[in-house]
């Protein structure tokens, strides 16, 4: 509009006799037409002025819709704010034209617009599969630090799927109904290099506030640190070293939880918090220092399984499809959380090594190494709250789930063609 007006102004300047093709006064012969022209102009001037006044009044009263007539402060809002919001909403939900702010759930179409940050990663890509299968429209943003496009190849070309290369430490504006915030390197070898937790979470909370989306944070059992309570319930505040090598992750997630609750209390946004315990399955990053992927890759390569410390520290292992089910139930449910999402089956590292030997190679050797700093001694979720309020509990045991990830790992390590992306594992 602005450029159009500028253009019109230039056009009328061009029509001015002093700059147009018509002869200028200096082109005319001396003492000939000049007195006649000026007499004519003087005679026509009153008519010209009356004409301009009528045209001005006409445009003032009839050129704008009544609702946008600048009679009050609402003019600024209508003119400057509404059009931006309206365009975004019109693209996605035709029935909501002209409305702003949070979209009442009853008015939403059946298909939701869902943002999954970190959706090219291990958990994120399985979550995307489920959401697309359910008929939702999914946007993934990922910087591919630990994720891979290959995890999402099977959705390329689907009009309900979009993938954007973006780092969540930078703001982004997308009109969506729900945000699953997973973007964050989750393994020790990667998270030391990345400040995603705090800055990325802040940006995604800002986005949720701006578009009125529901926000789910994927926090972690690491918020319990080296726990003094066993098993860990959500009421336990944890035992975390704030300055250790793992604290960028542990404390980063704790801060992310704090920010999430502050945005909930202070800005009224709908939030959900999941505290995820060790999860495994197809598409896990190879060689990222997480114990299940380490053991499986080592057994397949005929390398010794490296056990840190005496191998008596315990963990619980959840198959990825159970986690995805828990995340979706949490997002769709009425409770903020935090909720522990994990499998309460507890294994020592040596027991896990034994299951890997049984599944892949009975002759695989075990090699002991000194333990890493701040490695928790015990980890086991108390999932009573999730059972009661989400009606959720895991259903895939370690002995059933482990073989489901082996074919995917075998393919990625040796290039076998069978079950390349682990889709059968869903
Ligand atoms: N897998 C587990 O056992 C486990 C346990 C506890 C918590 N979690 C949490 O679940 C989430 C997903 O974990 P995962 O196991 O799938 O890890 P992953 O590393 O496979 O996935 C993380 C994804 O986030 C992306 N990412 C990282 N930093 C980013 C950034 N700054 N901007 C955009 N994208 C970025 C990565 O490229 C990757 O695709 C993480 O937040 C993690 O902390 C996972």
What are 267-288's pLDDT values in tens digits?
A: 999 999 999 999 999 999 887 7
Atom of ligand 1 nearest to the CA of 276: 6
Residue 84 has pLDDT above 70, yes or no: no
The pTM of this model reads 0.74
Q: Which of 19, 423, 216 is nearest to 10 (CA)?
A: 19
What are 201-237's pLDDT values in tens digits?
A: 999 999 999 999 999 999 999 999 888 988 999 999 9
Which of the following is catalytic: 180, 191, 224, 249? 249
Question: Residue of the nearest CA to atom 7 in ligand 1?
Answer: 220
Question: Residue of the nearest CA to atom 43 in ligand 1?
Answer: 186
Q: Which of 275, 258, 244 is nearest to 375 (CA)?
A: 244
Q: Which of 404, 391, 393 is nearest to 343 (CA)?
A: 393
Judged by average pLDDT, the poorest of 20-24, 141-145, 161-165, 386-390 is: 20-24
CB-ligand 1 contact for 151 (6 Å cutoff): no
Residue 195 has pLDDT above 70, yes or no: no
Contact residues for 396 (Cβ-Cβ < 8 A; gap 6+): 319, 321, 322, 343, 404
Confidence of residue 58 (pLDDT cuts 50, 70, 90): low
Average confidence score pLDDT of the chain: 78
φ and ψ at 184, to 5 degrees?
170, 130
Domains of the chain: 111-425 (3.40.50.720)
The pLDDT assigned to 302 comes to 92
CB-ligand 1 contact for 248 (6 Å cutoff): no
Atom of ligand 1 nearest to the CA of 169: 31
Q: What Å distances lie between residue 362 and 261, 290, 304, 353, 410, CA to CA?
A: 48, 21, 12, 10, 17
CB-ligand 1 contact for 144 (6 Å cutoff): yes
């Amino acid at each position: 509009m602005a450029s159009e007006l500028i253009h019109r102004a230039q056009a009328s300047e061009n029509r001015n006799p002093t700059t147009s093709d018509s002869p200028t006064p200096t082109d005319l012969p001396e003492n000939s037409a000049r007195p006649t022209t000026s007499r004519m102009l003087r005679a026509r001037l009153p008519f010209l002025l009356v004409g301009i006044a009528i045209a001005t009044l006409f445009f003032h009263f009839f050129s704008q819709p009544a609702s946008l007539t600048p009679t009050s402060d609402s003019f600024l809002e209508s003119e400057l704010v509404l059009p931006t919001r309206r365009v975004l909403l019109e693209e996605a939900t035709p029935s909501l034209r002209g409305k702003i702010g949070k979209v009442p759930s009853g008015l939403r179409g059946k298909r939701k617009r869902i943002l999954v940050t970190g959706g090219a990663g291990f958990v994120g890509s399985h979550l995307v599969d489920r959401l697309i299968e359910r008929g939702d429209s999914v946007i993934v943003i990922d910087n591919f630090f630990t994720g891979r496009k290959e995890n999402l190849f099977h959705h390329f070309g689907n009009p309900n799927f979009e993938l954007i290369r973006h780092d969540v430490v930078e703001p982004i504006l997308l009109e969506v109904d729900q945000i699953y915030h997973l973007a964050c390197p989750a393994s020790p070898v990667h998270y030391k290099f990345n400040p995603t937790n705090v800055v990325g979470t802040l940006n995604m909370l800002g986005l949720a506030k701006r578009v009125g989306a529901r926000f789910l944070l994927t926090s972690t059992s690491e918020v319990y640190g080296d726990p003094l309570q066993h098993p860990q319930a959500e009421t336990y505040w944890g035992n975390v070293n704030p300055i250790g090598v793992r604290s960028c992750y542990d404390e980063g997630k704790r801060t992310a939880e704090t920010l999430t609750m502050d945005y909930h209390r202070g800005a009224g946004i709908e939030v959900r918090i999941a505290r995820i315990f060790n999860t495994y399955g197809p598409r896990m990053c190879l060689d990222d220092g997480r114990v299940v992927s380490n053991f499986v890759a080592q057994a397949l390569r005929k390398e010794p399984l490296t056990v840190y410390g005496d191998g008596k520290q315990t963990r619980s292992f959840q198959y990825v499809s159970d986690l995805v089910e828990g995340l979706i139930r949490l997002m769709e449910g009425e409770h903020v959380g935090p909720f522990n999402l994990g499998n309460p089956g507890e294994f020592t590292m040596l027991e896990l090594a034994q299951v890997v030997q049984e599944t892949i190679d009975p002759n695989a050797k075990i090699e002991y190494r000194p333990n890493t700093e701040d490695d928790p001694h015990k980890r086991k979720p108390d999932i009573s709250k999730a059972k009661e309020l989400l009606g959720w509990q895991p259903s895939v045991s370690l002995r059933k789930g482990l073989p489901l990830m082996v074919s995917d790992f075998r393919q990625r390590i040796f290039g076998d063609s069978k079950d390349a992306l682990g889709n059968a594992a869903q």
